Structures are given as structure tokens and as C-alpha cells.
Amino acid sequence: MCAKGVDIGTCFLVGAELKDGKEVFTMERDAFFSMPNEDFAEDMLTKAGAFYIIKGEQIYVVGEDALKFSMVTGNQKDYRRPMAKGVLNPGEEEAISMMEVLLEAVVGKPAYPNEVICATMPANPIDAEFDVVFHRMVLERFLKKLGYDVKCINEAMCIIYSENPTVTINNEVLPFTGIAISWGAGMVNFAASWRAKKLLEFSCGRSGDWIDRQVAKVRSVPVSKVQSHKEKYLNFDRIDPTDQIMVALEIYYEDLMRYVVTNIGQQFKAANATIDEPVEIVIAGGTSKPPGMVDRFKTILREIGLPIPIKNVRHAKDPLKAVAAGALIAAISEEKKRKASGGGGGEAPAAAPKAGKAGGVPLIS
């Protein structure tokens, strides 16, 4: 039995599957680079072993190679991204076609007709005009066209599945119960879960890309320079006060954290949702990667407070893969359900939940 998970992100696409009982991940940068198909362009790309496609008069270099190409040529204008703020980029005419090329490269064809794939989707943003319906429908249709049986699942809930936060009540340990926050490029996604059931979800339309843009503005440097400086050197335990980019990064990171914590509080209140038992918060996503980020978040959490009790805050084992790993767990669970009910979906006997281990997976509704 197979099944796949795919984390469809603004910065990275991450596919996950089991090979010989082990989780295997395929990562691709969610980007492309366009150039006219003239002279020896194609020859040069073939020799370089680049991943590209030809469409009309244009060549599109796709994925990680697009970034390399943009760096080597110093051309940032033609470095483009199919997604912005967590969804298909409305300002990018090639968004859908490039996303299809990238998605197929990451997940491949199904191993058999109707293999289950769980694809991650953001929650609707609380601070933007758009919803995620168009994004979801387009990607769902494409994965179906490839031959998959598609299930769309919430991005932050995937962290709950892979990291298994727990709550203990009267010596009973409740699995898949807690809070997960995915700090991505386009969005911060939040979910609260009780025994693998989603209690509350939302997203904010700002995260790593927003930080890069704000810092670039106040320091008058290119966004790409800020991003690369941030990814290489940012360490919250050692901020160099003479490094102007670092100082601005620290300021905007803190601003983002305050914004997220404030919104979590407001969303709990607005939904009239409460949790009485102290819960764990699990943090994942690329924006959570700099050393000291989780401690900084804890400090801001203490400062602002939340309307629910928090037991502890911890970092996911692998912040860039936690979402895809959870999508795979959900896909395996779904495939089991379908098998048990003769392939038609419906209820199946509960499997014993065991975090992060495909094989003993939660049944996810």
C-alpha cells in the first residue's frame, strides 16, 4: 500500500512518501526563471543539466535551478514565483502552468490508479481580501488529472499529525491535542487540535516574505539580499548591533510574533473556543529556523499572554519537513480507511495513534 503527502508552499514544495518503510522527501523551490528561446539558450541549459520547459517562444527554468540562474545572471526581474501569500499568485500569468510542472516533478504519477495523496492548504486569511477556494480547486483538479485520489488538508494540522503534541488528563494521555503554528514564506498558519480534530484554524497573510520586504524597504537593499542574509546569519542569541540588516530583521521578526500572538488570542475569543488543560505549542516552517527563534517567541508569548493555558513551546524535529511528514501520515490513514471500507471511503476501525511513525497513524476526520 502506498500513499503520498505534499506540502504546497509559497517558497518550497515538499513531497513525502514511504520507501522501504522509511519517509523519503522530495523538495523543490516554488519558482521559475523565464527567458526568450533564442540562440543557444536550450543547448546551454541541457549541458548544465537544468530543469526547464519550452512554451511558445519562451524557456522556463524551473525550481531550484531558477534561483541559481537568477543569481548567476544577476537578473532578478525574470525570477518569478507561482505562489504569493500562501496561494496561487494572482499577479502571475504563468502561475497555474508552472505550478503544474513543479507539482508533477515533486509527486510524480500515482503508483496505481487512485493512490491517495494529501495536499496541504492554508486556512483562510484573517487579514486579506482573498479566500483559498480558487487555489484549492485548481490544485485539486490537477492532482486528480494526474490520477490521484486527492484529499486537501490544513497545513498546520499536518504538524499536529507529525509532531503529536499531547495533553494529560487524569493520567490519560490525549494524543494529537495541542496547537501548531507553521511559519512559512507567505503565511503563518495556525491550528488548534483536540484528539486530531481541528478546533480552530486561521492564517495571517504575512511571514518570511513580509519580513524580507519590510527590511528591504527600511534599509534600501534588494529583497533577495535580505533573504539570503537572513537565512545565512540570523541568530537571535547573537544579534550584531552594528549590522543594520540584522537589527531590522530582529525588529520585524518581533513585530510578526506580536501580531501572531495577538491574533491567536483574538481568534480564540471570537470563536468562543476554550481549552482548560495546559497544551503544547509546536512551531515549524522555514521562518522558525534561525537559532533562538522559539525562545524569542516564548518571551513574546509570556509578555502578551493567551486566553488558554500553555504547557510548553517546542520546535518541530525538522521544521521544513514537518508539514509534508504530517500530510503523509494523513494520506496513509486515509488509504487505510478506504481499504477497510472496500475502497469507497467511510468509517474504518481506529488504528492506534503513534506520532511520526507511519503504520500506526491516527484516523483523521
Ligand X SMILES: Nc1ncnc2c1ncn2[C@@H]1O[C@H](COP(=O)(O)OP(=O)(O)OP(=O)(O)O)[C@@H](O)[C@H]1O
Binding site for ligand X (CB under 6 A): 9-12, 86, 182, 184-187, 207-209, 227, 230-231, 234, 285-287, 289-290, 320
Long-range contacts of 270-273 (CB under 8 A, 24+ apart): 271/200, 273/192, 273/199, 273/200
Partner whose footprint covers residue 207, from ligand X, Mg ion, none (CB < 5 to 8 Å by kind): ligand X
CB of 252 to Mg ion, least distance (A): 19
State the nearest-atom distance from the C-beta of 99 to ligand X, in Å: 12
Contact between 9 and Mg ion per CB under 5 A: yes
With CB cut-offs between 5 and 8 Å by kind, which of ligand X, Mg ion, none does residue 234 bind? Answer: ligand X
C-alpha cell at 228: 539570503
Three-state SS annotation for 340-353:
HCCCCCCCCCCCCC
| Residue 290 contact, options ligand X, Mg ion, none, Cβ 5-8 Å cut-off depending on partner type | ligand X
- Partner residues linked to 83 by β-bridges: 88
Residue 287 binds: one of Mg ion, ligand X, none (C-beta under 5 to 8 A by kind): ligand X
Quick one: 10 or 34, whose CB is closer to Mg ion? 10
Within 13 A of 241's CA, how many CA atoms are on the CB side? 0
Cell of 360: 500506526
Report how far residue 137's alpha carbon sits from residue 148's, in angstroms, rounded to the nearest whole number: 14
When the beta carbons of 185 and 196 are compared against Mg ion, the nearer one is 185
Of 177 and 182, nearer to ligand X (C-beta) is 182
DSSP string covering 17-33? EEETTEEEEEEEES-EE
DSSP H or E stretch at residue 57: none
By CB under 5 A, name the one of 5, 82, 165, 184 that touches Mg ion. Answer: 184
CA atoms lying within 13 Å on the CB side of residue 127? 18
Tell me how far, at minimum, the Cβ of 324 lies from Mg ion, in Å: 9
* Residue 13 vs 196, nearer CB to ligand X: 13
Smallest separation (angstroms) from ligand X to the CB of 310 = 22
Strand 58-62, strand 52-55: pairing: antiparallel
Helices (H) and strands (E) in the chain, counts: 10, 18
Beta carbon of residue 186, minimum distance to ligand X (angstroms, whole number): 4
CB-closest chain residue to Mg ion: 184
Residue with cell 480558487: 134
User: For residues 12 and 32, which CB has a smaller minimum distance to ligand X in the complex?
Assistant: 12
Q: Is 326 in the site for Mg ion (CB under 5 A)?
A: no
Full DSSP string of 249-266:
HHHHHHHHHHHHHHHHHH
Residue among 185 and 355 whose Cβ is closer to ligand X: 185
**Residue 185 partner contact from Mg ion, ligand X, none using kind-dependent CB cut-offs of 5 to 8 Å:** ligand X
Residues 62-91 that bind Mg ion (CB under 5 A): none
Q: CB-wise, 316 or 331, nearer to ligand X?
A: 316
Residue 178 binds Mg ion, judged by CB under 5 A: no
State the greatest distance between any 2 C-alpha atoms of the chain, in Å, as a whole number.
73
110 binds, among Mg ion, ligand X, none (CB under 5 to 8 A by kind): none
Of 190-219, which residues contact Mg ion (CB under 5 A)?
none
Q: Contact 59/42 with Cβ under 8 angstroms?
A: yes
